Amino acid sequence: MSQIDIQDLFNKSRFPSGWRLLLVILYTPIGFVLVLLRLLVVLLSWLLASLLPDCNSLRTFLSYGIRIAFGIVVKIDTDSEPRDKQSRIIIANSVSVLDHFVLRRTTETVIPSVWELPTALSNALGIQKMNMSNKEILIANIKQFLSTSTYSVSVQPEFGTTNNRVALLKFNSWPFSIETSVQPVAIKASRSELVPVQLTSLASTRLTEAFWFMFVPYTVFTLKYLKIRRNSDHEILVRDVEKDIADALRLQTCSHTVSDKIEYEKRYRTHRILSNARPIRTPNSQVIHSIEIQRMVHQVSEVLPLVPQNVILRDLMKTRNVDITIANILDGIVTYTPEPNPSAQSSVTSSSASSSFAKDKGLGTTSFQEKKAKMIQEARERYIKKHGLINC
């Protein structure tokens, strides 16, 4: 398990710091005019897509419209392999909320999505509505789609974006069980140096991300196709492809998944609300920080009462994630000498621990049975009283 700190994976702020921020501020009036004009293009595209019947020329037109509206420029890397039509599953990394459009422009692919849009528009955007209530249904849906359509399917098994500077999120393995061969593609994106607004930032919505696409003059996407990978064991295939894409982007792979990202975002958001709401009472962010760490130590300690707290604390400082620390300890990555006396330990860690449990073991059961009978009896009496029944 790699030791990459999850907070290095994301941009906390979309904006640069120092004098480069001045550039963004100076650019702002132009940015807003651009947003207005581009909103008109979006509106027009939406109207056309809803009113006109679906046809190829409409799709081409919408594709142009979207390109103008979001300022998207797509390039193919000079070292790229050709797109190999043998493989109908494309695996890509995630860089922004509009990756599906970029993939649609360069390869005839669609990405499964939950949104229902007019056909021409969703095709131009490169998304396809599918039932995503669970993995099996979705896989069946994708297989069926591949057998009936000429389009291929792209999947981004990170299922979340990162800042694309340190590492990829851990790939989910199910997309690799659809077919035994996949073609990986590495996507990079960059924006003008004069308006250095990042593509993603932590805890922002799709809508804000799309807004910033309209605000900046343009966004260049560079795609690099890699050699097809084949393996009938999808657990091996996923790691191979993950390595290929990471190498092509000169990034690392790590063990953080999209669930970790969501969890981290939630903590980040609460933290931000806390520090906004009480700017005077909490002058020192270190205080909040240490309270937060103490709370996490406590949580781990409840799960694993035998592990000394200083060991837990040391690992938590690295991971900042309760689940990962628990996994590290259970997997033996973190070694420790067990606390000699579990009862003494647990009475220190929490009042809820089972210090004198052994003694009242027998008593516990009888009182549980008694409690059960008492609870039913009381509920019964309450019910009879409430409904005015006499003969029961």
Partner 1 sequence: MAGSALRRLMAEYKQLTLNPPEGIIAGPINEENFFEWEALITGPEGTCFEGGVFPAKLIFPPDYPLSPPKMQFTCEMFHPNIYADGRVCISILHAPGDDPMGYESSAERWSPVQSVEKILLSVVSMLAEPNDESGANVDAAKMWRDDREEFEKIAQKLVRKTLGIPP
Look up residue 48 and give its two tokens: 């056309």
Q: Is 159 in the site for partner 1 (CB under 8 A)?
A: yes
Q: Are strands 89-92 and 109-113 parallel, antiparallel or unpaired?
A: unpaired
Name the nearest CA neighbour of 325 among 351, 293, 348.
Answer: 293
DSSP string, 304-359: -TTS-HHHHHHHHHHH--HHHHHHHHHTTSS--PPPS-HHHHHHHH-TTS-TTTTT
Q: Is 382 in the site for partner 1 (CB under 8 A)?
A: yes
Can you tell me which of 101, 160, 178, 315 binds partner 1, judged by CB under 8 A?
160
- Size of the residue set binding partner 1 (CB under 8 A): 50
SS3 of residue 163 by DSSP: coil
Nearer to partner 1, 83 or 267 (CB): 267
Nearer to partner 1, 241 or 322 (CB): 322
Nearer to partner 1, 172 or 190 (CB): 172
Q: Is 128 in the site for partner 1 (CB under 8 A)?
A: no
SS3 of residue 139 by DSSP: helix
Min dist. Cβ of residue 10 to partner 1 (A): 15
Nearer to partner 1, 14 or 298 (CB): 298
Q: Which stretch binds partner 1 (CB under 8 A): 65-73, 207-215, 220-228, 374-382?
A: 374-382
Binders of partner 1 in range 344-363 (CB under 8 A): 346, 350, 352-354, 357, 361-362
Q: Is 326 in the site for partner 1 (CB under 8 A)?
A: yes
Binders of partner 1 in range 87-116 (CB under 8 A): 114
Nearer to partner 1, 206 or 227 (CB): 206
Min dist. Cβ of residue 274 to partner 1 (A): 17
Name the nearest CA neighbour of 196 among 381, 31, 389.
Answer: 31
In contact, 70 and 213? CB cutoff 8 Å: yes
Can you tell me which of 20, 266, 272, 278 binds partner 1, judged by CB under 8 A?
266
Nearer to partner 1, 278 or 372 (CB): 372
Binders of partner 1 in range 167-206 (CB under 8 A): 172, 174
SS3 of residue 28 by DSSP: helix
Write the interaction track for partner 1 spanning residues 229-258; mark x where CB under 8 A is met and - where it is not.
----------------------------xx
Nearer to partner 1, 270 or 285 (CB): 270
Beta strands in the chain (DSSP E): 72-76, 89-92, 109-113, 127-129, 152-155, 167-168, 181-191, 219-225, 229-230, 252-253
Min dist. Cβ of residue 264 to partner 1 (A): 11
Name the nearest CA neighbour of 98 among 140, 55, 63.
Answer: 63
Q: Which stretch binds partner 1 (CB under 8 A): 7-15, 20-28, 102-110, 301-309?
A: 301-309
Cα torsion for 138, 120, 212, 98, to the nearest 10°? 40
> Phi then psi for 89, rounded to 5 degrees?
-115, 125
Q: Which stretch binds partner 1 (CB under 8 A): 5-13, 131-139, 223-231, 234-242?
A: 131-139
Angle between the N-to-C axes of helices 19-51 and 206-215, in degrees from 0 to 180, rounded to the nearest 10: 110
Name the nearest CA neighbour of 185 among 153, 163, 162.
Answer: 153
Q: Is 333 in the site for partner 1 (CB under 8 A)?
A: no
Min dist. Cβ of residue 209 to partner 1 (A): 16
Min dist. Cβ of residue 54 to partner 1 (A): 27
- Tell me how far apart the alpha carbons of residues 199 and 219 are, in angstroms, rounded to a whole number: 9
Write b or e for each residue in 295-332: b if 16 or more Cβ atoms lie within 10 A of its Cβ, otherwise e. ebbeebbeeebebebebbbebbeebbbbebbbebbeee
Binning the chain into helix, strand and coil, the percentages to the nearest 5 are 50, 10, 35
Site of interaction with partner 1 (CB under 8 A):
114, 132, 134-135, 138, 159-160, 172, 174, 257-259, 262-263, 266, 299, 302-306, 322-323, 326, 330, 342, 346, 350, 352-354, 357, 361-362, 364-365, 367-368, 371-372, 375-376, 379-380, 382-384, 386, 389, 392
